Amino acid sequence: MNYIYPAIFYPEDNGFYSVVFPDLNELATYGDSLADAFAMAQEACGQYLFTSLRDGNALPTPTPINKIEKDEDAALVNLICVNLDNYARAYNDKAVKKTLSIPAWLNTVCENYGINYSKVLKDALIAKIQIHS
């Protein structure tokens, strides 16, 4: 399902753009260009809406774009559209089955120690991602 919320884009002196969502508890993000700020705004909005719905919170009614008040003349008001079905598929915690191969001797040792393959692989992948972040 698509959700659309207005966002205010504020140009900064360094060329960056700050973004604020007035309807989403002043949710804010930024980007190093307008295109980057727009992408970051979609991501921030998606995370906020996905988490709110997952936690059972009601979503606020979006303010019509022509009712948004900006406090700087240079600010831009734009609508941000997020497809939460796509977002949920990408970010939900539902387990995904993967097949892997390990040597037979390692399988035997791991079974003897009662090692949970899924947990070990998940922990290792998270650690690997953190190294690259």
Tell me: the pLDDT tens digits for 85-115? 887 777 777 777 888 899 999 999 999 999 9
The residue range of the domain holding 46 is 2-91
Residue 133 — pLDDT band, cuts 50, 70, 90? Answer: low
Which class for 72: exposed (0-12), middle (13-18), buried (19 or more C-beta within 10 A)?
A: exposed
Q: What's the predicted TM-score (pTM) here?
A: 0.69
Q: Looking at the structure, do residues 100 and 45 belong to the same domain, yes or no?
A: no
Rounded-to-integer distance, Cα 111 and Cα 117, Å: 9
CA distances from 109 to 5, 102, 118 (A): 53, 11, 16
Task: Note whether 101 and 73 are same-domain residues.
Answer: no
Does pLDDT of 123 surpass 70?
yes
Residues 22 and 79 in one domain: yes
Question: What element of type H or E holds 6?
Answer: strand 2-11
Domain count, the chain: 2
- As a whole number, the mean pLDDT across the chain is 91
Instruction: Give mean pLDDT, residues 65-76.
Output: 94
Q: Please give the average per-residue pLDDT across 77-83, as a whole number.
A: 96
Same domain, yes or no: 79 and 99: no
73 pLDDT tier (thresholds 50, 70, 90):
very high
Is pLDDT above 80 for 13? yes
Q: What's the chain's length in residues?
A: 133
